[in-house]
Amino acid sequence: MKLSRFLILLVVLLATAAALWQFSRPPEVAPVSPTRGEAAEIVYATGIVEPRTWAKVTPLLRERIVELCNCEGEAVERGAVLARLDNRQPEATLAELRARQKFTASDYDRVAALVERRVASDQALDRARSERGQIEALIAGQETRLESYILRAPVSGVVLRQDGEVGEVAEPGTVLFWVGEPKPLQVEAEVNEEDIPRVTVGQRAVLKADAFPDQVLEAKVDSITPKGDPVAKTYRIHLALPEDTPLRIGMTVEVNVIARVSSEALLVPTNALRGASLFVVEGGAARRRDVRVGIRGAGQTQVLEGLSETDRIIAPFPDDLADGTKVSEKR
| Model pLDDT for residues 94-140, shown as the tens digit of each residue | 899 898 888 888 888 887 888 788 877 878 888 888 888 898 899 89
Split at pLDDT 50, 70, 90, the class of 25 is low
Instruction: Fill in the DSSP letter of residue 106.
Output: H
Which pLDDT does position 21 carry in this prediction? 40
Average pLDDT on 65-74 reads: 93
148-184: pLDDT as tens digits: 999 999 999 999 999 989 999 999 989 999 999 999 9
- pTM to 2 decimals? 0.68
Question: Looking at 221, 241, 262, which one is the last position of a domain?
Answer: 262
Which pLDDT does position 22 carry in this prediction? 44
Please give the residue that has the higher pLDDT: either 92 or 19.
92
Split at pLDDT 50, 70, 90, the class of 17 is very low
pLDDT at residue 19 greater than cutoff 50: no
Which pLDDT does position 291 carry in this prediction? 93
Claim to verify: residue 186 and residue 258 sit in the same structural domain:
yes
Which pLDDT does position 40 carry in this prediction? 86
Q: Does any domain span residue 206? A: yes
pLDDT, mean over the chain: 88
Structural contact between residues 179 and 69, judged by C-beta atoms closer than 8 angstroms: no
Split at pLDDT 50, 70, 90, the class of 30 is confident
Claim to verify: residue 49 and residue 91 sit in the same structural domain:
no
Q: Does any domain span residue 276? A: no
Which pLDDT does position 101 carry in this prediction? 86
Which pLDDT does position 120 carry in this prediction? 75
pLDDT at residue 27 greater than cutoff 90: no
- Range of the structural domain that residue 109 is part of: 87-148
Please give the residue that has the higher pLDDT: either 126 or 9.
126
Q: Does any domain span residue 217? A: yes
240: β partners: 186, 220
Claim to verify: residue 246 and residue 103 sit in the same structural domain:
no
Q: Does any domain span residue 68? A: no
Question: Looking at 262, 297, 320, which one is the last position of a domain?
Answer: 262
Q: How many domains does the chain have?
A: 2
Average pLDDT on 182-187 reads: 94
Structural contact between residues 177 and 71, judged by C-beta atoms closer than 8 angstroms: no
Reduced to 3 states (helix: H, G, I; strand: E, B; else coil), residue 318 is coil
CA angle 107, 111, 114 (to 5 degrees): 145
217-259: pLDDT as tens digits: 999 999 999 999 999 999 999 999 999 999 999 999 999 999 9
Q: Does any domain span residue 227? A: yes
pLDDT at residue 14 greater than cutoff 90: no
Q: Does any domain span residue 208? A: yes
Claim to verify: residue 189 and residue 234 sit in the same structural domain:
yes
302-325: pLDDT as tens digits: 999 999 999 999 988 988 888 888
Q: Does any domain span residue 234? A: yes
CATH number of the domain that residue 216 is part of: 2.40.30.170
pLDDT at residue 6 greater than cutoff 60: no
CA–CA distance, 96 with 89 (Å, rounded to integer):
11
Among 262, 261, 274, 266, smallest CA distance to 306 is for: 266
Q: Does any domain span residue 79? A: no
Structural contact between residues 265 and 295, judged by C-beta atoms closer than 8 angstroms: yes
32-44: pLDDT as tens digits: 889 999 888 899 9
Question: Looking at 245, 262, 279, which one is the last position of a domain?
Answer: 262
314: β partners: 279
Claim to verify: residue 47 and residue 196 sit in the same structural domain:
yes
